[in-house]
Amino acid sequence: MFTHFSPAEKEVHAPADKRVFIAFKPYIFVIIGILLATSAGAAWLQYLLTGLPADPSVINSITTATAPKGFPVWVRLSHWVNFFFLSLIIRSGLSILFDHPRLYWNNGCTPKSEWIRFTPVKIPEDKVWTAKEDARYISPWLGLPGYRHAVGIARVWHFLTVPFFLTNGIVFIALLFYTDQWKRLVPVSWQIFPDSWSVFVHYATFNMPIEPNGFYHFNALQQLSYFGVVFILAPLAMLTGMAMSPAIENRFHWFPKLFGNRQSARSIHFLIMIAYVGFIVIHVSMVAASGLVRNMNHIVIGTDTTDARGLYMGIGIVLATVLFCILAYWLSWNKQRSLQYMEGAVNGTIWRNTWNHLKPRAYYQKKDISPYFWPNGKMPSSEIWQQLAATNFKNYKLKIGGLVENPVELSLEELQNMAKEQNITMHHCIQGWSGIAEWGGIPISEIVALVKPHASVTTVAFYSFGEGLYGGVYYDTHTLDNCLKPQSILAWEMNYKPLPPEYGAPLRLRVENQLGYKMVKWISSIEFVETYKTLGKGQGGKNEDDEYFDLLANT
Ligand SMILES: Nc1nc2c(c(=O)[nH]1)N[C@H]1C(S)=C(S)[C@@H](COP(=O)(O)O)O[C@H]1N2
Ligand SMILES: [Mo]
């Protein structure tokens, strides 16, 4: 429904193989077993051996006189705003995850080292298997926008949501402490832990504890879990998200290390999502089990009454969110370009004015080089490239032109004699994987100095011998500014050896503060232009044109 795929798009987005699949490393079962044994298992043991512990809600009955009374309108609003944006964030996050349906603890994303995968595919060892081929289908009921390889639009939803989610959270926490509502969420005594355990033993052994009236205060376990969601899960979600950004990683190298590395940050980001979903399921069940009608009045209209108004309005809010999800789905498959622009206008602008000014640095050492490096993109099928490859690119000439004083054509040897810069850096693919490699090649600044672009030049376009996913010349553009950074090179060397064909021979781009799709492989020519708007479909690159990838640093 709402989708109208061309045959080529159908093959990408709605392939025949839609199998749902999850596989874990065996140790994950051991961890789940240990977690169950030390929680529910221990609770049952205590219950069977010593009986039910005293109900802390009864012993420590807090006088309602000092407790915050009821739910002011800002609590109710931010609760539902949060619900709305969480549903967008989680669903778009799932779509992003399925574009590289594997999670790792190591930076290099070596196949078979993933601790969980959502694909039945075992990576073939006898042929090139690209990351784009590895993307998996996810039902649009679950993912936003769903289907296969819609990472561009999924990122639009994910990143458009973040500023609102963050603002809502900041306003909520500020008002929490400005009023006395913080007393609901923030434990003030260590007693919270034994009390929470007692409550947990009750739940785990199906003995409902006496519920305090949530209009005034929560039970210990409830308080502790709300505290955890607001003050631990939400900040961790933001920080692990940021740890995946190339622009941040390349400048603040220590940052992803807070979580191990980029891939463990991605894994933790996923586990936080699981924790959120687990919380939502338990939270909603408890709300229903402990007096649905009254609880809905608390959080929707702010009264402690037993009429059904809150329930009806609550259902209305949920339905409105569902309707918005349907609208989002329709937009995702009918108004891709507008969505892409919207995201570019918000986040592209923020990004361009902040992190993108930072100069990337190469921090990695030889020992960090990944044993495996995912290949991506279609190998060039053009005869010209194949002939050049057959003779080791001896007859290759890089054409450099456009708005320059001195257009040139340079052989590989001539380029190699000009200058060389070597860096060990991490590649950040938009799909989620990464890899560390050494790259050697000529700084683009040397080429700029040689050809002398006109003063009106803002943008440099790099064209490939290869084609995009849907055919047509693969190209991408960078700001002249970005090209002048010392780490921006045209590489002919990977891991101290000549660049292999599948990684972009004879020349490929490395621009280290950017996502992987901007690093054109199999470069045929370079053009200096006034604007990217006159090239291709005018979005700044092949993936931006055809796959709605982020419009980031283009101006
Ligand atoms: N010519 C060309 N260059 C390309 C691509 C492509 O499809 N064609 N894919 C890009 C993407 S999405 C990525 S992640 C990197 C992958 O580089 P690698 O194969 O060395 O890992 O190349 C980029 N350069
Ligand atoms: Mo990529």
CA–CA separation, 214 and 295 (whole Å):
8
Q: Which atom of ligand 1 is nearest to the CA of 377?
A: 7
- Could you tell me if residue 503 is inside a domain? yes
Ligand in closest contact with the CA of 543: 1
Ligand in closest contact with the CA of 385: 1
Task: Give the pLDDT band of residue 553 (cuts 50, 70, 90).
Answer: very low
Same domain, 254 and 291: yes
Q: Is the CB of 466 under 6 A from ligand 1?
A: yes
- The phi, psi pair for 175, rounded to 5°, reads -70, -30
- Could you tell me if residue 181 is inside a domain? yes
Q: Which atom of ligand 1 is nearest to the CA of 509?
A: 24
User: Ligand 1 atom 19: the closest Cα is on which residue?
Assistant: 375
CA–CA separation, 114 and 112 (whole Å):
5
- Could you tell me if residue 130 is inside a domain? no
Label residue 486 exposed, middle or buried (CB < 10 Å: 0-12, 13-18, 19+).
middle
CA–CA separation, 201 and 552 (whole Å):
51
- Cβ 427 vs Cβ 516: under 8 Å: yes
What CATH number is attached to the domain comprising 338? 1.20.950.20
Q: Which atom of ligand 1 is nearest to the CA of 515?
A: 14
Indicate if the pLDDT at residue 319 is higher than 50. Answer: yes
- The phi, psi pair for 458, rounded to 5°, reads -115, -20
- Cβ 460 vs Cβ 467: under 8 Å: no
Which of 336, 355, 374 is the last residue in one of the domains?
Answer: 355
Which of 355, 385, 403 is the last residue in one of the domains?
Answer: 355
3-class secondary structure, 92 = helix
Per residue in 516-551, pLDDT (tens digit) is: 999 999 999 999 999 999 999 999 999 999 999 998
User: Ligand 1 atom 18: the closest Cα is on which residue?
Assistant: 375
Per residue in 271-298, pLDDT (tens digit) is: 999 999 999 999 999 999 999 999 999 9
- Could you tell me if residue 538 is inside a domain? yes
Number of domains observed in the structure of the chain: 2
Per residue in 100-155, pLDDT (tens digit) is: 999 999 999 999 999 999 999 999 989 999 999 999 999 999 999 999 999 999 99
User: Ligand 1 atom 24: the closest Cα is on which residue?
Assistant: 520
Q: What is the mean pLDDT of residues 508-514?
A: 92
- Cβ 146 vs Cβ 139: under 8 Å: yes
Q: Which atom of ligand 1 is nearest to the CA of 464?
A: 1
50-59, 248-257, 393-402: which is most confident: 393-402
Same domain, 333 and 448: no
User: Ligand 1 atom 10: the closest Cα is on which residue?
Assistant: 517
Strands annotated E in 338-446: 397-402, 408-411, 421-428, 434-443
Indicate if the pLDDT at residue 484 is higher than 50. Answer: yes
User: Ligand 1 atom 11: the closest Cα is on which residue?
Assistant: 517
Same domain, 350 and 409: no
- Could you tell me if residue 126 is inside a domain? no
- Could you tell me if residue 276 is inside a domain? yes
Q: Is the CB of 520 under 6 A from ligand 1?
A: yes
Give the pLDDT score at 187: 94
Q: Is the CB of 519 under 6 A from ligand 1?
A: yes
Same domain, 461 and 540: yes
Same domain, 28 and 165: yes
Same domain, 172 and 242: yes
Average pLDDT, the chain: 94
- Could you tell me if residue 185 is inside a domain? yes
CA–CA separation, 386 and 380 (whole Å):
8
Range of 332's domain? Answer: 7-100+135-355
Same domain, 366 and 339: no
Q: Is the CB of 505 under 6 A from ligand 1?
A: no
Which of 330, 355, 380 is the last residue in one of the domains?
Answer: 355
Which CA distances in Å does 47 have to 32, 42, 206, 328, 439? 22, 8, 11, 48, 61
Give the pLDDT score at 211: 86
Same domain, 341 and 247: yes
Same domain, 226 and 244: yes
CA–CA separation, 379 and 211 (whole Å):
63
Q: Is the CB of 522 under 6 A from ligand 1?
A: yes
- Cβ 523 vs Cβ 507: under 8 Å: yes
Q: How many CA atoms lie within 13 A of 431 on its CB side?
A: 25
Q: Is the CB of 373 under 6 A from ligand 1?
A: yes
Question: Strand 397-402 to strand 523-529: parallel, antiparallel, or no bridges (unpaired)?
Answer: parallel
Same domain, 366 and 347: no
Q: Is the CB of 402 under 6 A from ligand 1?
A: no
Tokens at 102, concatenated: 């594997």
SS (H, E, C) 4-47: CCCHHHHHHHCCCCCCCCCEECHHHHHHHHHHHHHHHHHHHHHH
Per residue in 444-482, pLDDT (tens digit) is: 999 999 999 999 999 999 999 999 999 999 999 999 999
In the reported structure, the alpha carbon of residue 475 is separated from the centroid of ligand 1 by a whole-number distance in angstroms of 10
What percent of the chain is predicted at pLDDT more than 70?
98
Please enumerate, as own/partner, the contacts of 333-336 that have beta carbons within 8 Å and a separation of 24 or more.
Answer: 333/2, 333/3, 333/4, 333/145, 334/2, 336/152, 336/153, 336/548
Per residue in 206-237, pLDDT (tens digit) is: 999 988 889 988 999 999 999 999 999 999 99
